Amino acid sequence: MKNRRSFLTAVASGGVGLALVTPVPAVAQSTPAPSPSPTGKLASFGSAAMAATMRTRFDPALTDADLQTIAKAIDANNDAAKLLNPKKKRLKNGDAPAVHFAVAGDDR
């Protein structure tokens, strides 16, 4: 991966696609799933191509509507990832959260 942002985008978008492909119990199928992208906007070319690979790698029975839903979910997830860093501020290698570990009952 070129940088952290491309890595996070790849991980986040791949997880959404896999979550949509997993089988759902019959009880959960009775309620309609909310649309990941409420607008009528078409999915981007990259997300449509990634969704198309879901058919060949995981489930050949996926319909075109399923692929469109997966592609829109990938786009929605990418849009949400862009909100994490709206000013596109670059992180330095030394930037890290301060981590403090404590053990229950330890008074240090």
Distance CA 106, CA 20 (A): 44
- What pLDDT was estimated at residue 85? 82
Distance CA 74, CA 46 (A): 9
Distance CA 26, CA 44 (A): 31
Domain carrying residue 67:
4-83
Whether 100 maps to a domain, the answer reads: no
Whether 89 maps to a domain, the answer reads: no
Whether 51 maps to a domain, the answer reads: yes
- The residue among 103 and 2 whose pLDDT is bigger is 103
Whether 73 maps to a domain, the answer reads: yes
Whether 105 maps to a domain, the answer reads: no
As for how many domains the chain has, the answer is 1
Per-residue pLDDT of 22-56, as tens digits, reads 554 544 444 444 444 445 778 899 999 999 999 88
Whether 64 maps to a domain, the answer reads: yes
Q: Which pTM was predicted?
A: 0.48
